Structure 1
Amino acid sequence: MATTAPGRKRSETARLAILDAARELVAADGYENLTIEGIASRAGVGKVTIYRWWPSKGLVLAEALLDRAPVINTRPPAVTGRIADDLRNWLHDWVRVLASPEGSSQIRALTSAASDDQAVAVRLYEAFTAPLHTMIVQRLGHAAQIGEIRSDADLESAADAVVGSLLYRMLTRTEEVTTQRADGLLDLLLHGLTPHSRRSEDPQETADR
């Protein structure tokens, strides 16, 4: 969140105008073309006003996209008793947001800002990446407790795979983010986590029979 200098009262109307201007400009022109001058002009304020409350354009954008008008899905997966269904439905909701023009542009803008500004990277991690990862770990943990997945499964790595795979494809634009891709990831992941009554037979032993 922005901080106000001691003894200086911040205008809420001006703050919201600045945040809305940053969001609108980055949607239209991208993060690389976003400037404090442009934000100030669109918001109808002076540059000094912006710098008084935010030390960088990245932090203006972070507050605009993470606090003012977030479109990113931060709702945890449901707990219905079927891990596959709950994660699949949750991932489909998440993919729809990321695949939308607004959602994809916001994630790309925030990622670009985070690469330029460590303070933005911290904000992005605290407001988005960490909560997303924690939600998946917690849902998988519940599944492990009731025997749906292995009790010794590495839940942290599983969550890394879910978050990392989708974000990688979207950020690099190597492939459209689709629910089918999410299903493929989830099916592969849960197949590896599913409890087994015994270990797979050694291929050589099977061939010798």
Structure 2
Amino acid sequence: MSRQTAPDPSRRSQQSRAAILAAAADLVSEVGFAKLTIEKIAARAGVGKQTIYRWWPSKGAVVFDAFLAVSEDASGSLALPDTGDLAADLRAVLRPTADELTDPAFDNTGRGLISEYLVDPDLLREYRERLLDPLLEVTRDRLRSARTAGQLPADTDLDLAVDLLYGPMYYRWLHGLGAVDHAYADRLVAAVLRALGATDGAADGAPDGG
């Protein structure tokens, strides 16, 4: 007589959580952030609303986790290359950033999440701790390495440098001021390195095609 194994509650919870995140990612692409509701996510995932609220306090929190799950699957671990060619290494992070910002699925999600960050301090803190701050820190580390190597002046303000790299791109995307593409990313890297007083070798690396 075979012995039946009791269902594993943790496995069931993991499956429900994955279904919720997948439903949120699909729905925000289909209907947009503004029209997305917890009820729609629950119906698509096949769970009750209370199951969602057990893990997330708001629609924005669910969508943010769904966005992170998709981003991690697509890009893997967060890191910048350190090849010795500072311009090329910065292009290697700004070009994918441009691609992400101009992806139609991200555009709706990103703008919706920004509106949530402005009114939800807890969600803003999550965004800072889990996404923005790690990105800025790895970029700061790469610039610090270049400063140590003499490619940037010894008094380079690294906080200002990362603001100069990412700020214009997000400003241009958010306000629809023009193309956010590889060509713009390359021009931005060159302009920032010139403004920082990078050595010729660091500032003038010729971008590869694209």
- TM-score band (shorter)? 0.7 to 0.9
SS in 2 for 1:11: helix
Q: Which has the larger radius of gyration?
A: 1
The alignment's C-alpha RMSD in Å is 2.1
**1:102-157 deviations in whole A, cap 9, x for unaligned?**
33333223223322322211111112211111121111110010111111011110
CA contact (8 A) 1:37 1:47 kept: yes
Find the counterpart in structure 1 of residue 91 from structure 2.
88
CA contact (8 A) 2:29 2:105 kept: yes
Name the CA distance, whole Å, in 1 between partners of 2:143 and 2:187.
18
Normalised TM-score (structure 1): 0.81
Find the counterpart in structure 2 of residue 180 from structure 1.
183
CA contact (8 A) 1:88 1:186 kept: yes
Find the counterpart in structure 2 of residue 130 from structure 1.
133
CA contact (8 A) 1:27 1:102 kept: yes
* Deviation of 1:180 (Å): 1.6
CA contact (8 A) 2:32 2:109 kept: no
**1:47-82 deviations in whole A, cap 9, x for unaligned?**
12222222211111122111x322675632211112
Q: Which 4+ runs in 1 deviate beyond 6 A?
A: none
CA contact (8 A) 1:59 1:119 kept: no
Find the counterpart in structure 1 of residue 208 from structure 2.
none
Find the counterpart in structure 2 of residue 40 from structure 1.
42
Matches within 5 A, 1:7-46: 11-46=13-48
**1:177-209 deviations in whole A, cap 9, x for unaligned?**
11121122111111122357xxxxxxxxxxxxx
Find the counterpart in structure 2 of residue 143 from structure 1.
146
Which amino acid in the other structure matches residue 65 of structure 2? E
* Deviation of 1:175 (Å): 2.0
- Count of aligned pairs between the two proteins: 188
Normalised TM-score (structure 2): 0.80
Structure number with the bigger relative contact order (C-alpha 8 A, sep ≥ 6) is 2
Residues 63, 195 of structure 1: alpha-carbon distance in 2 compared, 3 angstrom cutoff:
closer
Find the counterpart in structure 1 of residue 82 from structure 2.
79
* Residue of structure 2 aligned with 1:106, choices 91, 105, 109: 109
Name the CA distance, whole Å, in 2 between partners of 1:99 and 1:169.
11
1:97 counterpart = 2:137 = no
Q: Which runs of no fewer than 5 residues in structure 2 stay unpaired? A: 1-8, 200-210
Name the CA distance, whole Å, in 1 between partners of 2:177 and 2:112.
17
CA contact (8 A) 2:33 2:108 kept: no
Which amino acid in the other structure matches residue 98 of structure 1? L
Name the CA distance, whole Å, in 1 between partners of 2:67 and 2:185.
25
CA contact (8 A) 2:172 2:180 kept: yes
Q: Which runs of no fewer than 5 residues in structure 1 stay unpaired? A: 1-7, 197-209
Which amino acid in the other structure matches residue 50 of structure 1? I
1:166 counterpart = 2:169 = yes
